[in-house]
Amino acid sequence: MQDAGAGTTRWVWRVRAGDVAFDAPADRSILASAEAAGVAWASSCRNGTCRTCLRRLEIGEVAYGIEWPGVLPDERSEGWFLPCVAFPRSDLVLAAADDQTLPVT
Ligand code: FES
């Protein structure tokens, strides 16, 4: 989705997680967008190290705001990501919170 205003172009994606859906600007972390929409997701460090916010992506693409987020390559390939340091690069479909089996580390 493209949202043009005041001479600028801003990308705003749509995130769906189970029965919850919200808009997510490309320049805001997915966790911050969830909170701005009134969605309460677990979080703690907010810098990609504690893994409290770990969620599983079913469809879509994210980019990280830090070089080494705390997700292993195998976990990434299974769709796990950290919303506190991830930014949307497409519309996203996430597993519902009760439809996730957290990886053991
Ligand atoms: S809140 Fe700690 S990794 Fe996301």
Domain 2-95, CATH 3.10.20.30 — does that match? yes
Residue 48 CA, distance from chain mean position: 12
Q: How far away, in angstroms, is 7 Cα from ligand 1 center?
A: 34
Q: How far apart are CA 15 and CA 66, in angstroms?
A: 21
Choose one of 30, 41, 52 to mutate for the ligand 1 pocket test, by most ligand atoms within 8 angstroms of C-beta.
Answer: 52
Query: In this model, does residue 4 exceed pLDDT 50?
Result: no
Work out the pLDDT band at 66, boundaries 50, 70, 90. Answer: confident
By the 8 A CB rule, do 66 and 47 touch? yes
Please give the model's pTM, rounded to 2 decimal places.
Answer: 0.86
Q: Dump pLDDT digits (tens) for 27-46.
A: 999 999 999 999 999 999 99
Report residue 23 as tokens. 């808009």
Ligand 1 binding residues, C-beta < 6 A? 43-46, 48-53, 70, 82, 84
Q: Dump pLDDT digits (tens) for 68-80.
A: 778 999 999 999 9
